[in-house]
């Protein structure tokens, strides 16, 4: 009998969302929905719901380092997803741990601002994320405002500019960049995957629903869960995008909160 691949172990390094729709909670749901075992390192506690973020508490960077070492010292980690990091000290703690433990796949979701316009990354931490963490990433997944902030540029308003900015971010050291086109003023929501081999357009219909809380977290964690199972970044990214579209479309079956609700991570099962 041919040997089967082990179930991948995927680590999320991110903040906790008390409303359950984004952050650590969304990541673990996506991992489970896509056949991966999830471990977690919590970089921030947020008091939030579907209406917005009320407060943020960040642990000391040394405690983040302790969590990271505890996980890597015991568990085979096949991929890492990084989300909210809160401040420069935590960015550096995560970068140092990745240098020590050298996981094979790192998906960096450059979380800076919540959907309710609450800052989730201190302004002085942007440079640390760009200079110290981005070069360690297999894939970086910025939305258009985040890409612009990292590059000190205007937000891309059309797809040619998206590709140029993705190439500029890859030149900073990331192996690949996924430029997410959700902020474009168009009927479509196209993403562009920028790899050394070139740029690949991943088209997709824009789903006209309000339940989009945690979409960025869910997409990046889905990619992290799928990379070890496909060994092909383009295939993993395309499948993750299809999964997210289905989760958004099925979000109408949930009744969670009175604001921007979450996507339905387990739409294929219930």
**Which amino acids are annotated catalytic?**
180, 212, 214-217
Reported in sequence order, the residue ranges of the chain that DSSP labels E, i.e. its strands, are 9-17, 37-49, 52-57, 79-82, 106-108, 139-140, 177-180, 191-195, 198-202
Q: How do strand 177-180 and strand 198-202 relate by DSSP bridges?
A: unpaired
As a whole number of angstroms, the distance between CA 109 and CA 67 comes to: 20
Q: Which residues contact 162 (CB under 8 A, 6 or more apart)?
A: 144, 147, 156, 179, 181, 184, 192
Using CB atoms within 10 Å of the CB of residue 193, give its burial: 0 to 12 exposed, 13 to 18 middle, 19+ buried: buried
As a whole number of angstroms, the distance between CA 157 and CA 186 comes to: 10
């Amino acid at each position: 009998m041919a040997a089967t691949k082990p179930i991948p172990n995927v680590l999320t390094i991110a903040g906790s969302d008390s409303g359950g729709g984004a952050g650590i909670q969304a990541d673990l749901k996506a991992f489970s929905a896509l056949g991966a075992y999830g471990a977690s390192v919590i970089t921030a506690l947020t008091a939030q719901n579907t209406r917005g973020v009320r407060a943020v508490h960040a642990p000391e960077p040394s405690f983040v380092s302790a969590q990271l070492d505890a996980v890597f010292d015991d568990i085979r980690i096949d991929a890492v997803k990084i989300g909210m990091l809160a401040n420069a000290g935590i960015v550096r703690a995560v970068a140092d741990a990745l240098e020590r433990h050298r996981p094979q796949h790192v998906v960096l979701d450059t979380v800076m601002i919540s959907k309710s316009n609450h800052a989730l990354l201190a302004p002085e931490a942007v440079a640390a994320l760009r200079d110290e963490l981005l070069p360690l990433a297999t894939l970086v997944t910025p939305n258009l405002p985040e890409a612009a902030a990292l590059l000190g540029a205007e937000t891309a308003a059309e797809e040619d500019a998206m590709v140029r900015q993705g190439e500029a971010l890859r030149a900073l050291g990331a192996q690949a960049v996924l430029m997410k086109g959700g902020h474009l003023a168009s009927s479509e929501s196209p993403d562009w995957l920028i790899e050394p081999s070139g740029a690949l357009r991943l088209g997709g219909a824009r789903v006209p629903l309000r339940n989009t809380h945690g979409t960025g977290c869910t997409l990046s964690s889905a990619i992290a869960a799928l990379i070890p199972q496909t060994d092909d970044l383009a295939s993993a990214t395309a499948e993750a995008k299809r999964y997210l579209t289905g989760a958004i479309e099925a979000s109408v079956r949930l009744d969670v909160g009175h604001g921007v609700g979450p996507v339905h991570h387990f739409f294929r099962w219930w």
